[in-house]
Each structure stands twice: as C-alpha cells, then as structure tokens.
Amino acid sequence: MAAAVGVRRDYTPADLRRCARRSGDADQVRRLLAVALILVGGSRSDAAKLAGVTLQIVRDWVLRFNESGPDGLATRKAPGRASIPER
C-alpha cells in the first residue's frame, strides 16, 4: 500500500471554500470541497464519498492541488488528438 500524500498547508479550508464559491466550474468546486474536508481533518475516504469518486481519484486531486494550488483542480481538456471536424 502506498503512503498517504501530504496536502500543502498554505491554503486554509476557508480559502478553498472561498475559491469554490467563486468558481463557475462545478467539477472544480467538488474537488476544492473534497480537499478542504481533508484539511479540516476528515479522512480521504470521507472526501471520496463526498465527491462520489474513488480514493485514487482523491489522491490524484491532492497531487494536482499540491503542484498548482486551487487552479490545478480546474477541469482540463482531455489529452489526445483533436477531434476530426464533421463534413
């Protein structure tokens, strides 16, 4: 089993909730609130249940948050080839 990844502490749970209120991206809001729950002492399992995802996805969110802060939790365009336009 892998060791738990720590969450950066330069943002408070209140900061993350404030970012969530300002965000127009519903998926980013869900991610921010899950990370805020972890910061107040909730378990990652609780955060996963709150967000309706698996523990692995919560871990990925924590890694993204640690790397880029709240902006790292914004919905990104999927990688891969661009779609072929219809004729």
Domain limits, the chain: 13-73
- What is the pLDDT at residue 1? 54
By C-alpha distance, which of 17, 5, 8 is closest to 68? Answer: 8
- What is the pLDDT at residue 11? 96
- CA–CA gap between residue 9 and residue 40 (Å, rounded): 11
Q: What is the pLDDT of residues 21-69, one digit of tens each?
A: 999 999 999 999 999 999 999 999 999 999 999 999 999 999 999 999 9
- What is the pLDDT at residue 5? 80
